[in-house]
Every structure is written in C-alpha cells, then in structure tokens.
C-alpha cells in the first residue's frame, strides 16, 4: 500500500502516547538510579528519539513489503547471533554484545526477537491452510531451535525463554488444533517436574552454575541466601516506598538505593527504584500503561486484515506482556532472578530500539485494518 492510500484517521496515537509515557518514566528512574549520570540519561533520551523516529517511519511502510524479505531477515538474525558467539564482548560471564563502527555496542538478541516475530508471521501465513500438518510444524520447530540454541549458548537463558513464549503465542494465534496444544502440555508437565528434581542435583547440562543457583535460591531462599539478597532488597525497596514514594533523587539514609543494596538498578531492578521513589502510585501507573499497550496490540490483532498482521500484533503483545511481567516478577521475587529489562523503561539502547521497531510494524498493521472492524 502506498503512503497516500492510508487512512490516517486509523493511526493509533494512543500507542505512541503509552510508549512515550513509559519511556519518560524510565528516564526519571534511570536519572535517579544512576545518581544523575548525565551521559547515561542522555544516551537513553537519544535512544527514545531514534526509536520513536524509526517506529513512525516503519508505521508508514506496508508490513507486507517487510514480510516479503522474511528469509533475508531470518538469515540476518542467524548471522548476528553467530557474530556474537565468535566476536562478541564478554561481560559478567556472558557473551551477548557486539561493537559496531559508529553505532557502538549492541545486543543482537534483542533485535532477533523482533526478526523472528516477522519471520514466523510470514511463515505461518504462507502455510495457513496446512497449520496442523507435521510437514509445516516440523520445519518451524527446527527454524526456531537454531536461533534459540545460539541465544542459549551466549549464555542467555532468560531471552531464550522469552523468545520461546513469543513463538508459542504466535503458533497458538494461528488457530492450531487443540490436539497439538494438549499433546505439548502432556509432555511439558512431566518435563517440568523432572527439571526441578534434576536441578537440585545440578544435573541440567545446559544450565550454567550461576543460573542454577538463581533458580535454587528462588526455591529455597534460606539455603541460598547470598544469591537471593538482591531480590530480598528489591522487595524491601518497593515496600518502603509505601503509597507515594520517597521522591526521586532523595537523600534519605534509609533508602535501599542510596545504601547501594541493589545492583543493576537501572536495568534489571528498575521497578524497585520506581516502587521506592514513586511509591505504589508510580508502580501502578507503570503497570496500567503496560496493560493499555498490551490491550491495543490485542485489539489490532483482532482487526488485522490478514493472518500475518494478526500474528505480528500477537507476537509483540506477548513480548511486552511476558517481559514486563517477568521483570516485575523478579523484582517482587515471584520469579527467580532472570536479568530481563523492563520494556521502554530499563536503561539500554538495544532493548529500547528493538521494541520501538516492533511497535512501528504493529502501527502499520493498524493502519491497514479491516473496514468492517472500525
């Protein structure tokens, strides 16, 4: 579809508003978490500006044209992940980053999530009439397993899990037979039980030592108190904020942040900063904004003109829903410590740009929605 053919009355400015609101709250939290580090805050603001420009630009490009390059996108994803494994930068026992000329340091796995959403949306639309056939689902499993294993090797278990949930939601959105769903659940339940049992004896081959310790600390905090202290301090920070918080950049001695009892507070534990300094009210605003954004994605999925558009919206909605829930769940000790950023809010340009890119495609799906679902 050409630019002049769009009906811009359908442009979903609410999504732009919600994204900017979350990003703005993120900047305030990062400003406080980094003790007013101007360089980091400036970098984040620049990332928001570039991300917004990319989202608006992509929203005006027919997503069907993007999907026509899906094979190239998939190959590009594999090339980026391979480059990380062979030329990546190691930090904190993980090799997840690349340094590119001019651009600087990026985390390719963040962009791969968006690439896989586009690729599998195209793939399942191409084989729309054969969704339940092994000849379609078998290759799809292999096509997913290759990048998933490469991400796991970085090692990056949390991103592998997020990507798995995203692709699972896309498969579900195709209208796959419930026989397949029940069959998968029948396998996954005993596998999950076996995983927990074997984990206690460190018999899971694909888990690094620190990954196993984080999970065990969540299961048995008293035995693994040293590994659990971050989450314990996070809960303390959120609770101490009470209704309205202690205020941004406060100098209170009793502050968990000011006492340096949190690590990675500008990324993994940014929600703890929001809870402590903006209180329950600020935390609730963040959660409501995420719920509104997820709702818009689901409504666009319902109104999409074709299966591919629907799956793109489902994939992005799932990404935002699961990753935001996982980050907040880690900060409140509902989940074990995973190291996932809070979308739009946490410090990190790769996460920020990738999520804005994905939402740009969602906006274009909305521009082309079906007339009978205004």
DSSP 310-373: HHHHHHHHHHHHHHHHHHHHHHTTSS----PPPTTTSS-HHHHHHHHHHHHHHHHHHHT--GGG
Q: What is the pLDDT of residue 220?
A: 83
Q: 319 and 117 in contact (C-beta within 8 Å)? A: yes
Q: How far apart are alpha carbons 49 and 43 in whole angstroms?
A: 10
Phi and psi for 371 in degrees, rounded to 5?
-65, -35
Q: What is the pLDDT of residue 56?
A: 96
More confident residue, 362 or 6: 362
- Residue 19, pLDDT above cutoff 50: yes
Please write the tens of the pLDDT for every residue from 124-143: 999 998 999 999 999 999 99
Q: What is the pLDDT of residue 274?
A: 96
Looking at the chain, the whole-number percentage of residues with pLDDT higher than 70 is: 97
Confidence of residue 4 (pLDDT cuts 50, 70, 90): low
Q: 118 and 361 in contact (C-beta within 8 Å)? A: yes
For every residue of 11-68, DSSP letters joined together read --HHHHHHHHHHHHHHHHHHHHHTTS-HHHHHHHHHHHHHHHHHHHHHHTS-HHHHHT
Structure tokens at 356: 């804005």
Length of the chain: 374
Confidence of residue 373 (pLDDT cuts 50, 70, 90): very low
Segment 51-80 mean pLDDT: 96
343: left (phi over 0), alpha (psi -120 to 50) or beta: beta
Confidence of residue 339 (pLDDT cuts 50, 70, 90): confident
Q: 274 and 283 in contact (C-beta within 8 Å)? A: yes
Segment 160-178 mean pLDDT: 95
Which uninterrupted H or E stretch holds 89?
A: strand 89-91
Angle formed by the axes of helices 270-303 and 13-33, nearest 10°: 170
SS3 of 147, please? helix
Segment 106-116 mean pLDDT: 96
Radius of gyration of the chain (CA): 21
More confident residue, 36 or 4: 36
Q: What is the pLDDT of residue 334?
A: 93
Confidence of residue 149 (pLDDT cuts 50, 70, 90): very high
Ranked by mean pLDDT, the top range of 195-199, 215-219, 237-241, 351-355 is 351-355
Domain assignment of residue 11, given as a range: 3-373
Average pLDDT, the chain: 91
Structural domain count of the chain: 1
Q: 311 and 162 in contact (C-beta within 8 Å)? A: no
Please indicate, yes or no, whether the overall pTM of this predicted structure exceeds 0.85. yes
Confidence of residue 14 (pLDDT cuts 50, 70, 90): very high
Q: What is the pLDDT of residue 330?
A: 94
Least reliable range by pLDDT among 40-54, 73-87, 236-250, 271-285: 236-250
Structure tokens at 42: 């400036």
- Residue 352, pLDDT above cutoff 60: yes
Pairing mode of beta strands 94-100, 104-106? antiparallel
Q: How far apart are alpha carbons 248 and 245 in whole angstroms?
A: 8
Q: What is the pLDDT of residue 374?
A: 47
Confidence of residue 2 (pLDDT cuts 50, 70, 90): low
3-state secondary structure 91-133: ECCEEEEEEECCCEEECHHHHHHHHHHHHHHHHHHHCHHHCCC
Looking at the chain, the whole-number percentage of residues with pLDDT higher than 90 is: 70
Confidence of residue 222 (pLDDT cuts 50, 70, 90): confident
For every residue of 237-281, DSSP letters joined together read HHHHTTTT-S-TT---TT-TTTTT--SSTTTTTHHHHHHHHHHHH
Q: How far apart are alpha carbons 120 and 140 in whole angstroms?
A: 8
Torsion, CA 303, CA 121, CA 19, CA 54, rounded to 10: -120
Range 212-240 burial, b when 16+ CB lie within 10 A, else e: bbbbbbbeeeeebeebbebbebbbebbeb
Q: 258 and 252 in contact (C-beta within 8 Å)? A: yes
Q: What is the pLDDT of residue 102?
A: 67
Q: What is the pLDDT of residue 371?
A: 58
Q: What is the pLDDT of residue 1?
A: 60
Segment 20-46 mean pLDDT: 95
Q: How far apart are alpha carbons 234 and 239 in whole angstroms?
A: 9
- Residue 169, pLDDT above cutoff 50: yes
């Amino acid at each position: 579809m050409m630019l002049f053919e769009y009906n811009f009355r359908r442009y979903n400015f609410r999504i732009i508003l919600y994204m900017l609101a979350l990003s703005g709250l993120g900047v305030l939290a990062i400003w406080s978490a980094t003790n007013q580090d101007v360089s980091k805050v400036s970098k984040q603001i620049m990332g928001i500006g570039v991300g917004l420009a990319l989202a608006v630009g992509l929203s005006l490009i027919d997503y069907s044209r993007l999907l026509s390059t899906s094979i190239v996108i998939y190959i590009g994803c594999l090339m980026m992940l391979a480059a990380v494994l062979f030329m990546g930068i190691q930090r904190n026992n993980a090799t997840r980053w690349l340094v590119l000329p001019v651009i600087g340091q990026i985390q390719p796995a963040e962009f791969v999530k968006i690439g896989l959403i586009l690729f599998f949306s195209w793939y399942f639309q191409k084989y729309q009439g054969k969704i339940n056939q092994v000849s379609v689902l078998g290759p799809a499993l292999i096509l997913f397993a290759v990048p998933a294993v490469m991400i796991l090797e970085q090692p990056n278990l949390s991103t592998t899990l997020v990507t798995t949930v995203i692709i699972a939601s896309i498969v579900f959105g195709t209208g796959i037979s419930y026989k397949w769903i029940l069959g998968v659940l029948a396998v996954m339940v005993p596998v999950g039980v076996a995983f927990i049992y074997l984990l206690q004896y460190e018999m899971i081959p694909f888990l690094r030592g620190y990954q196993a310790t984080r999970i065990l600390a969540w299961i048995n905090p008293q035995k693994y108190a040293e590994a659990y202290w971050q989450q314990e301090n996070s809960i303390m920070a959120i609770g101490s904020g009470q209704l309205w918080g202690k205020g941004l950049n406060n100098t209170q001695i009793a502050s968990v942040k000011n006492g340096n009892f949190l690590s990675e507070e500008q990324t993994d534990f940014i929600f703890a900063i929001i809870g402590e300094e903006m209180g329950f009210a600020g935390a609730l605003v963040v959660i409501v904004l995420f719920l509104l954004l997820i709702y818009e994605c689901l409504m666009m999925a319902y109104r999409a003109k074709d299966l591919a558009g629907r799956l793109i919206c489902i994939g992005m909605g799932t990404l935002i829903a699961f990753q935001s829930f996982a980050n907040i769940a880690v900060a409140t000790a509902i989940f074990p410590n995973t190291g996932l950023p809070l979308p739009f809010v946490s410090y990190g340009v790769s996460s920020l740009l990738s999520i804005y890119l994905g939402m740009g495609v969602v906006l274009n799906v909305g521009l082309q929605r079906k007339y009978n679902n205004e």
